[in-house]
Amino acid sequence: MKKSFIFYPSKNPKFILNKVINKNKNFLEAFILKTKDPYRVAKKFFKIKVYTGRQVHKDTIKIVNKKNKKFLHKIKADAFITSTPEIAIGVRLADCVGSVIVDTKKKIIAVVHSGWRGIAKKIILKTIDKMKKMGSSVEDIIVSMSPAIGKCCYEIGKDVYNKLKKDKIFSNIFIMKNKKIFMDLHKANYTLLLKAKIKKKNIYINDLCTYCNKKLFFSFRREGGKTGRMIYFAVIRKEEKNAE
């Protein structure tokens, strides 16, 4: 799936784009790489303000509109949905998976933040269910997952393992290596997307590891919790009116 993503600019890249989503003129998405101020990068390159909330590793989902966007930074939630053009919604990341969900027909978008807790609560599945209540059909949905800590590096304890393995849907997301347990965050989300009936061909995963790639990404685990954040955001573009 890496071929579906592109670093931009090619020299000294500031963000990663999903070529499939950005090919559609109705949408824009970007994963902003390691930088002091990702909001500033978004404003510089895309001329937009990105709105993010207070992520708490739960399954709260909020719908964003013109009235509440200014207060989003105060709202505790880990997924956001909007159908309003020109409101850029994003999630802050430093090892967890960020997902951009796009309904190409109804023009509804969502962003989801999910670490192991969000996965256990099936937040990405619940987000799609909420989009369906807003009129989305799974046949029209595209999902793009950001870089995250990889299965090569994401060691978990027996408490997390025992909690997740109780659910059969997570039976194939663990790797046992040298008496240690590792978890595949991307695969866990992918499995939930398949359960939601999202087409395999419409799921894009950038499996670069945030822990391994120090130059490109912040990593909460690598840096002992004291680290910055990347941002993965999406926005619905306004339709251009043809001049008469």
How does DSSP assign 48-69, residue by residue? -PEE--B--SS--EEE--TTTG
Question: How much is the pLDDT for 244?
Answer: 43
CATH 3.90.1580.10 holds for 14-236: no
Q: Give the up-direction half-sphere exposure of residue 217: CA atoms within 13 A in the CB hemisphere.
A: 27
Question: How much is the pLDDT for 240?
Answer: 62
Tell me the sheet residues that pair with 89.
Answer: 51, 234
- For the chain, the structural domain boundaries read 14-236
Question: How much is the pLDDT for 180?
Answer: 97
Each of the 244 residues of the chain gets a pLDDT tens digit; together they read 557 999 999 888 999 999 999 999 999 999 999 999 999 999 999 999 999 999 999 999 999 999 999 999 999 999 999 999 999 999 999 999 999 999 999 999 999 999 999 999 999 999 999 999 999 999 999 999 999 999 999 999 999 999 999 999 999 999 999 999 999 999 999 999 999 999 999 999 999 999 999 999 999 999 998 999 999 999 999 876 544 4
Question: How much is the pLDDT for 1?
Answer: 56
Cβ-contact 148, 31 below 8 angstroms: no
Residues with Cβ < 8 Å from 200, sequence gap 6 or more?
A: 194
Whole-angstrom Cα distance, residue 84 to residue 68?
12
Whole-angstrom Cα distance, residue 56 to residue 69?
18
